[in-house]
């Protein structure tokens, strides 16, 4: 078990990639706190996992909510070792997208890394995107926020490099989650994704969760400030 005795907080853990990470981490021995805006889905995932999981209401665009969630996680399971800044939105207005996808990750890094450093170290994992590496000529706020996440990851990695906290990000390609449901329903868009992805398919949330497991565990002990691209080859083109 690669996360035995570890406590992980996952924002947006009620759906898609976050839900898969919660299950994968719990299967590897972790205690998991799901910090999620939507109470029904967050509580449902906590219930699926059982005693080793808890739900806390959190709007990651609120600095106070993020701080309170981190404190709750530490108190509930007696420590904190991994913080996953996963919550995200797409196809929303500029202010909302920046507030959740960039400011939310910033709060999670700022308060999360500090808390991990104070308790002996740990791992912070930020969810960026392939759209944090290249543009697509649309979704300005999403692309800007996800590029910002790559920058924040590098900056915090440098700041915490000698304090025992590793900070990395994952850049997923097109993944089969509720976030991409509309794209998958639109024939033209769907065909475009499939043909532009060398592996010819969407990724599964569990395939991102496995990358997160690697970054959360000691298997990635010499990695910090990195972007781990998991995209079926999309950015290789």
Instruction: Report, in Å, the least distance between residue 178 CB and ligand NAP.
Output: 4
Nearest-approach distance from CB 95 to ligand NAP, in angstroms: 12
**CA 153, 223, 174, 20 torsion: positive or negative?**
negative
Please answer whether residues 111 and 67 qualify as being in contact, where contact means their C-beta atoms are separated by less than 8 angstroms.
yes
Q: How far is the CB of 172 from ligand NAP (least distance, A)?
A: 4
Nearer to ligand NAP, 92 or 121 (CB): 92
Q: Is the dihedral of CA 217, 117, 11, 200 positive or negative?
A: negative
Q: How far is the CB of 113 from ligand NAP (least distance, A)?
A: 18
Closest CB to ligand NAP among 5 and 91?
A: 91
List residues with catalytic annotation.
142
The length of the chain, given as a count of residues: 237
Given the complex with ligand NAP, which of 93 and 218 has the nearer CB atom? 93
The answer to whether the beta carbons of residues 135 and 93 sit under 8 Å apart is no
Please state, in angstroms and as integers, the Cα–Cα distance from residue 233 to each residue in 90, 210, 230, following that order: 22, 17, 8
Residues 142, 125 contacting (CB under 8 angstroms): no
Q: How far is it, in rounded angstroms, from Cα 152 to Cα 142?
A: 15
Residue 58 vs 113, nearer CB to ligand NAP: 58
- Give the footprint of ligand NAP on this chain (CB under 6 A): 11-12, 14-18, 36-38, 41, 58-61, 86-89, 100, 104, 127, 129, 172, 174-175, 177-180
């Amino acid at each position: 078990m690669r996360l035995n005795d570890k406590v992980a907080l996952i924002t947006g853990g009620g759906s898609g990639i976050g839900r898969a990470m919660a299950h994968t981490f719990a299967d590897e021995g972790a205690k998991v706190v799901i910090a999620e805006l939507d109470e029904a889905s967050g509580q449902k995932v906590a219930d699926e996992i059982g005693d080793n999981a808890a739900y806390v209401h959190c709007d990651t665009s609120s600095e106070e909510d993020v701080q309170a969630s981190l404190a709750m996680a530490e108190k509930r399971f007696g420590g904190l070792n991994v913080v996953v800044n996963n919550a995200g939105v797409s196809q929303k207005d500029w202010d909302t997208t920046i507030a959740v996808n960039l400011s939310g990750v910033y709060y999670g890094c700022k308060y999360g890394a500090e808390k991990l450093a104070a308790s002996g170290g740990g791992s912070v994992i930020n969810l960026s995107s392939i759209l944090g590496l290249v543009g697509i000529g649309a979704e300005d706020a999403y692309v800007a926020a996800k590029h910002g996440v790559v920058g924040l990851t590098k900056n915090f990695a440098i700041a915490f490099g000698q304090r025992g906290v590793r900070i990395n990000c994952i850049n997923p390609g097109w993944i089969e989650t509720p976030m991409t449901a509309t794209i998958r329903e639109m024939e033209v868009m769907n065909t475009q994704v499939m043909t532009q992805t060398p592996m010819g398919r969407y990724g599964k949330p569990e395939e991102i969760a496995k990358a997160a497991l690697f970054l959360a565990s000691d298997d990635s002990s010499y990695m910090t400030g990195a972007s781990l691209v998991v995209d079926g080859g999309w950015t290789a083109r």
